A and B are shown apart, each in its own frame.
Chain A
Amino acid sequence: AQSVAQPEDQVNVAEGNPLTVKCTYSVSGNPYLFWYVQYPNRGLQFLLKYITGDNLVKGSYGFEAEFNKSQTSFHLKKPSALVSDSALYFCAVRDRGYSTLTFGKGTMLLVSP
């Protein structure tokens, strides 16, 4: 089975500060990992993905994520948060033996001015 956990329902950060949104996963084999963002009343938008190769993945809007196999984590990071980054963030995983993605419950990121 494959599963993903986002341990924080909400993350609060001040504008200009670094942000981290946590994600841990469980798969039986090697994972494919994704981050998506959802702005209010919109569908999800792709941010970045890890398939293979470099453990540090860079994505849209200055976001990056680090794949850590020993800790089974794929935390989303940004060096300097913007108020416009406030949104709902979803981590998703796919075990290479599966054909579908499993999404986490989402983490609301609130960036204050």
Chain B
Amino acid sequence: DAGITQSPRHKVTETGTPVTLRCHQTENHRYMYWYRQDPGHGLRLIHYSYGVKDTDKGEVSDGYSVSRSKTEDFLLTLESATSSQTSVYFCAISFSSGVFSTDTQYFGPGTRLTVL
């Protein structure tokens, strides 16, 4: 195990409610990522972080925000959940990143979110 936990593991919520997903790592890795995985779309990057308070958008960031106040925690917030955000959300960490890196991404177990 790469020391990554996600909470909650399952959540059902209603449209319009705020939702926060938590990713916690014990590896002290600099980079953290949030992906969503949907049938027919594969894994798509929502947001990522390259350090405390340093975050950037991925390819599907609309409707999501993130925060990283500590190295070990990366939070994903859906300010007002919609049914289109029903998905499985994965957190990942890596030691390094970028064009000249071949570093492994280690994934958490995922959070299954259902928005009714």
Q: Do A and B bind each other?
A: no
**B-side interface residues toward A, CB under 8 Å?**
none
- List A residues at the B interface (Cβ < 8 Å): none
